[in-house]
């Protein structure tokens, strides 16, 4: 778990949403126990962007990685799609450990909602899905306390599927994100 200073260094002076700070405090209180499958705050994912996607400063300066999305190396990043300095105004992108990059949430609160589903994302070049096999599903150790906390803190109810959230985010930002990233990525 990163220290608060290490974590804040990820954002180059952008205003952090209060929700993000509250969530970070919640995770710090969970003693390292998992509350949503695969999710963990992290630092230094820009290195992953640098070596895995592009070294262009404009590319790197408009993405703010902040968390691992699964256990194999995929990660989440805020995407600055304009001159916004408030992370509340930025959609959330996922970068897959084997390639593929997609918008998954319109904003941080929508990502929190996805995390209540308690499933690792599967990222390919074509799509991202959050899937769990209900027959084999075992809730994360702190899943129930996370769901109670998110309901009490943000009036967010747990979801049964992340599909609609991802679909709406991609409908709103997918095309512009794809156009933007193609300027930097080797195809």
Q: pTM of the prediction? A: 0.92
- pLDDT tens digit at each of 187 positions of the chain: 566 677 777 787 777 888 988 988 888 887 778 899 999 888 766 788 888 899 999 999 999 999 999 999 999 999 999 867 788 889 999 999 988 999 999 999 999 999 999 999 999 999 999 999 888 899 999 999 999 999 999 999 999 999 999 999 999 999 999 999 999 986 5
pLDDT of amino acid 41: 87
| Residue 44: predicted pLDDT | 67
The set of long-range contacts for 162-168, using a CB threshold of 8 Å and a minimum separation of 24, is: 162/104, 162/113, 162/114, 162/117, 162/119, 162/130, 163/129, 163/130, 165/104, 165/105, 165/106, 165/110, 165/113, 165/114, 166/102, 166/104, 166/105, 166/114, 166/128, 166/129, 166/130, 168/106
3 state DSSP class of 40: strand
**Of 179, 74, 63, 77, nearest in space to 187 by CA:** 179
Asked whether 87 and 108 are in contact (CB, 8 A), the reply is yes
DSSP characters over 70-138: STTS-EEEEE--SS--BGGGS-EEEE-BTB-EEEEESSHHHHHHHHTT---EEE-SS-EEE---TTT--
The confidence score (pLDDT) of residue 25 equals 85
Reduce the DSSP state of residue 64 to 3 states and report it. Answer: strand
């Amino acid at each position: 778990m990163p220290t608060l200073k290490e974590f804040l260094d990820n954002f180059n002076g952008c205003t952090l949403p209060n929700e993000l700070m509250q969530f970070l405090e919640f995770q710090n209180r969970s003693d390292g126990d998992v509350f949503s499958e695969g999710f963990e705050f992290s630092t230094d994912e820009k290195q992953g962007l640098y070596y895995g996607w592009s070294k262009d400063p404009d590319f790197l300066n408009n993405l703010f990685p902040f968390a691992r999305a699964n256990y194999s190396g995929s990660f989440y990043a805020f995407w600055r799609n304009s001159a916004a300095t408030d992370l509340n105004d930025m959609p959330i992108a996922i970068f897959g450990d084997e390639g593929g990059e997609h918008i998954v949430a319109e904003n941080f609160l929508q990502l929190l909602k996805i995390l209540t589903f308690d499933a690792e994302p599967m990222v390919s070049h074509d799509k991202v899905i959050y899937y769990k096999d209900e027959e084999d599903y075992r809730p994360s150790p702190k899943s129930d306390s996370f769901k109670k906390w998110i309901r009490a803190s943000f009036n967010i109810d747990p979801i049964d599927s992340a599909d609609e959230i991802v679909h709406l985010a991609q409908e709103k930002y997918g095309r512009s994100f794809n156009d933007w990233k193609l300027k930097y990525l080797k195809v």
